[in-house]
Amino acid sequence: MEALLRRYEEQLILKNYAEATRRAYLYSVRRYYKWCLSEQRKGAKKKGLLRRFLVHRFESGKAWQTVNGDYSALKLLYAEVLCPHPSALLCHPPPGKRHGHRNLTAAIGA
């Protein structure tokens, strides 16, 4: 877990996130990890964990802004640390494609 958190923190630094945001996002990821462990002990299904976590946070009385912060932190974790898409490294459309917003979006998998 610590190695994952370090990779995540490095990604936040590379994307120039503020120190306060980095602390908040790391805290959200740790909280999600602990919640997943407790769900695993209960024998819960793995599918839909992220969605259930966010609903749990909202239903436990957290403000929507807090839940949205958790969502942003976890979206970055999944998208750029756990399962980054190789085409996200492209800075231009593949050869032979016209330039344009739609083609660039398709090239990076957005």
Q: Decide which of 15 and 94 is more confident.
A: 15
pLDDT over 90 (residue 12): yes
What whole-number percentage of the chain has pLDDT above 70?
76
Query: Given the structure tokens 């769900």, which residue do they identify?
Result: 39
Q: Which CATH number does the domain 2-108 belong to among 1.10.150.130, 3.40.50.720, 3.40.190.10, 3.30.160.270?
A: 1.10.150.130
Provide the pLDDT confidence category of residue 86 given band limits of 50, 70 and 90.
low
User: What's the confidence (pLDDT) of residue 99?
Assistant: 46
Do residues 28 and 74 touch, judged by C-beta distance below 8 A?
yes
Tokens of 69: 């912060």
pTM, entire model: 0.71
User: What's the confidence (pLDDT) of residue 8?
Assistant: 96
